[in-house]
Chain A
């Protein structure tokens, strides 16, 4: 009973919002903005899903995730410059950051496991180090990741034009999301991770090397951040300072969606992307307010996020 009331309430809010938005803009711009929001949300999803996996399992707020994103994007630029091979750039961007993640987890984080403040400070410090190293290596001129010819320009459907690349990013998000869900729900690794989220000691007690699971998840989360950097850099220009800006968006996604929850990352990323797009279009003065107000509201109503669970 209570649940159906919630659903009815949210549906009503959604319907009123959409109705109000349609009073302000044409149907065509409405759909364009929906696509804009979702394609930006797609990049946030790549980033936030890695962050949320790491946090869910290891209880580490990896604030270096934005730095991982930025370095991944720069590596993508370099690989594209050398080979012009986009899939290779995406792969190498991800793999390089996965190695960086391995180093971070094994060497930097392991000695301070479980100490919350040192972990936060270390990861935030790492972001600064990565930022300044990137500046020294790649310079600071705003640069996009070059994209393949086939994905450039608009896709024309009737009189509706939409950039091909953004559609490609959307499709990527659907594919990656599907893979993540499959692994999470249907495989042994997924079962291990889910068990680890619920009760680490129990899992360790069953004779499973929980530390190896930690490392694996951290490395995979880092891979997703590097992957996000290369894909996102195709339409979000890469430059110093973006590490913190994009991390902020990812954190809002995670907080809205619920820490440690994959469906939460999907929902949060879509919501943040859509709110960002429509807020910029309708109330540009309040662009930052409209991003943080829902977050504050959700923290009040559901302190663990929309899909998060009580701990």
Chain B
């Protein structure tokens, strides 16, 4: 009996570790957790797509795509894979005389697996371009590994850790965020919009890890810069993988604020929004969502009355009435039966950039810096609208304030309410001002309504 007890206690401790490692869905985290379960959960699951044998004399261009196709965030990873594959199903796979060949590998959301797979892709498959990943910690691990290899171009369409194209830009000379974004980029805009609506005091409810800190910080910084107030005691932080959000929602209900900014990931999104509705707050307090809170992947399975009318900001707006967007949405819907999430749009756009660079350089991919330069010169019509690059390798988009609406077919999507044009990652500040302040963290939210004004204000 005693040994049984001990083994149960040991199993519990093991599970605590597993849960901590598994429960990290969403845009990113900078903590690297060794997760043995993730690696065991991720065998097989790879897709090899080899085009017909090469006809020309030129070497094919080999591209390795790394996404989490199994594990807790597999749904988003598979969306990313869909976007990539749908692009090449609908575009020529021979550009400037070079065949495009690619392999999609599963990282299981684990940095160690990703590093192992990337070595294999570069050394054995001969990948010249790596496209990946979804989680910030995995993306950073890959960026570090590839930084020393000038023969590989690293394209980051999803992983959004701010500093990769900000304070740590110089560490990753061969990286570019084609089709990507920085976490705080879209919430900067929402901070401005909230102030314009007359909101003066806002509480926040964000997930307690790097991605949550950055999205929330972006909002708080610009909102307080405009003159709004955010009391640090009204900034609630919940751990990743929180099972029951009712406690937090109850607390928010008791706060005397004009609006609430929220960012959740994974299962906490549905929990939070359902509680928000069920406690009767949806009609009482305006809710402002960070981009992924109301991403189509998170809202498509929720009851429409829970999400209809909610506001967020985003570089991806599936209900935007522009030909490039509607064509893309219809194409993806026809192929997958789902209104696309931003993950689909992101890898699609990355593929678009790669095609454009290949055409511009007439198939010569030997110098990766030239590819980056070429990409920075483009102005592409993408599912995100017009996409240009700033000098740090991060896209400039028209970013929309979006509202969730129910379509005629009963499904939900985000439609634009207002559009902020040409928003870069530093908006509304200059890069010089902005980069003087530290990266957003739980301690530094850019909150100008309390304490010392930060640089950039």
**What are the interface flags for A225-247 relative to B under an 8 Å C-beta threshold, 1 for contact and 0 otherwise?**
00000000001111111101111
Within 8 Å by CB of A281, from B76, B250, B274, B302, lies B250
Query: Which A-chain residue is minimally distant from B250 (CB atoms)?
Result: A32
Interface-forming stretch among A128-136, A176-184, A204-212? A128-136
Q: A240-B72, A244-B19, A248-B16 are in contact. Are A142 and B279 (CB under 8 A)?
A: no
Interface residues of B in 14-52 (CB under 8 A from A): 15-16, 18-19, 22-23, 25, 37, 40-41
Interface residues of A in 160-177 (CB under 8 A from B): 161-166
B298: min CB distance to chain A, Å: 6
Q: Is the CB of A237 within 8 A of B75?
A: no
Q: A33-B250, A299-B9 are in contact. Are A246 and B243 (CB under 8 A)?
A: yes
Which residues does chain A contribute within 8 Å of B72, judged by CB atoms? 140, 239-241
A281 to B303, CA, bound (A): 27
A141: min CB distance to chain B, Å: 5
- Is B270 part of the binding interface, using a Cβ–Cβ cutoff of 8 Å? yes
Q: Is the CB of B302 within 8 A of A144?
A: yes
Within 8 Å by CB of B243, from A61, A128, A236, A278, lies A236
Query: Which B-chain residue is minimally distant from A278 (CB atoms)?
Result: B247
Interface-forming stretch among B93-101, B231-239, B361-369? B231-239
Q: How many residues of B contact A (CB 8 A)?
A: 62
A23 to B183, CA, bound (A): 38
- Is B385 part of the binding interface, using a Cβ–Cβ cutoff of 8 Å? no
A251 to B3, CA, bound (A): 16
A73: min CB distance to chain B, Å: 11
Interface residues of A in 268-297 (CB under 8 A from B): 276-278, 280-281, 284-285, 287-288, 292
- Is B297 part of the binding interface, using a Cβ–Cβ cutoff of 8 Å? yes
- Is A7 part of the binding interface, using a Cβ–Cβ cutoff of 8 Å? no
A129: min CB distance to chain B, Å: 10
A36 to B279, CA, bound (A): 11
- Is B11 part of the binding interface, using a Cβ–Cβ cutoff of 8 Å? yes
- Is A107 part of the binding interface, using a Cβ–Cβ cutoff of 8 Å? no
Which B positions have Cβ atoms within 8 angstroms of A? 1-5, 7-9, 11-12, 15-16, 18-19, 22-23, 25, 37, 40-41, 70-76, 78, 208, 236-239, 241-244, 246-248, 250-251, 254, 266-271, 274-275, 277-280, 297-298, 300-303, 305
A246 to B15, CA, bound (A): 10
Which A positions have Cβ atoms within 8 angstroms of B? 25-26, 29, 32-33, 36-37, 39-40, 55, 59, 61, 63, 116-117, 120, 124, 128, 131-132, 135, 139-144, 146, 152-154, 156, 161-166, 235-242, 244-249, 251-252, 254-255, 259, 276-278, 280-281, 284-285, 287-288, 292, 299, 303-304, 311
A37 to B244, CA, bound (A): 9
Q: Is the CB of A166 within 8 A of B246?
A: yes
Q: A161-B279, A281-B250 are in contact. Are A235 and B23 (CB under 8 A)?
A: no
A252 to B16, CA, bound (A): 10
Which residues does chain A contribute within 8 Å of B25, judged by CB atoms? 239, 241
Q: A36-B247, A154-B278 are in contact. Are A140 and B75 (CB under 8 A)?
A: yes
Q: A251-B12, A281-B250 are in contact. Are A144 and B274 (CB under 8 A)?
A: yes
Q: Is the CB of A128 within 8 A of B40?
A: yes
Q: A132-B41, A255-B8 are in contact. Are A284 and B70 (CB under 8 A)?
A: no
Within 8 Å by CB of B11, from A59, A120, A141, A249, lies A120
Q: Is the CB of B74 within 8 A of A146?
A: no
With contacts A36-B250, A141-B297 known, what are 10 further pairs, Cβ within 8 A?
Answer: A40-B244, A63-B15, A139-B78, A140-B74, A153-B280, A156-B280, A166-B246, A238-B267, A241-B23, A259-B5
Which residues does chain A contribute within 8 Å of B254, judged by CB atoms? 25-26, 29
Q: Is the CB of A36 within 8 A of B244?
A: yes
A selection of 18 A-B contacts at a CB cut-off of 8 Å is A29-B254, A36-B246, A61-B8, A139-B78, A144-B274, A144-B301, A152-B278, A153-B280, A163-B246, A237-B267, A237-B268, A241-B22, A241-B71, A244-B15, A244-B22, A252-B12, A304-B5, A311-B1
Q: Is the CB of B9 within 8 A of A255?
A: yes
Q: Is the CB of A251 within 8 A of B238?
A: no
Q: How many A-B residue pairs have CB under 8 A?
A: 184
Q: A139-B75, A249-B243 are in contact. Are A284 and B237 (CB under 8 A)?
A: yes
Which residues does chain A contribute within 8 Å of B244, judged by CB atoms? 36, 40, 235-236, 276-277
The 3 closest A-B pairs by CB, nearest first: A140-B75, A237-B270, A311-B1
Which residues does chain A contribute within 8 Å of B11, judged by CB atoms? 61, 63, 120, 124, 251
Chain A binding surface, main DSSP class: helix
Which residues does chain B contribute within 8 Å of A287, judged by CB atoms? 238-239, 242
Q: Is the CB of A154 within 8 A of B19?
A: no
Q: Is the CB of B40 within 8 A of A245?
A: no
A175 to B243, CA, bound (A): 24
Within 8 Å by CB of A277, from B71, B237, B246, B269, lies B246
Query: Which B-chain residue is minimally distant from A162 (CB atoms)?
Result: B279
Q: Is the CB of A161 within 8 A of B280?
A: yes
Pick from A25, A26, A141 the residue with the most CB of B within 10 Å: A141
A132 to B1, CA, bound (A): 33
Q: Is the CB of B74 within 8 A of A237?
A: no
A284 to B204, CA, bound (A): 14
Q: Is the CB of B278 within 8 A of A40?
A: no
Q: Is the CB of B248 within 8 A of A153?
A: no
Q: Is the CB of B274 within 8 A of A135?
A: no
A87 to B18, CA, bound (A): 33
A255 to B16, CA, bound (A): 14
B135: min CB distance to chain A, Å: 13
Q: Is the CB of A277 within 8 A of B280?
A: no
Which residues does chain B contribute within 8 Å of A249, judged by CB atoms? 243
Q: Is the CB of B270 within 8 A of A140?
A: no
A131 to B18, CA, bound (A): 13
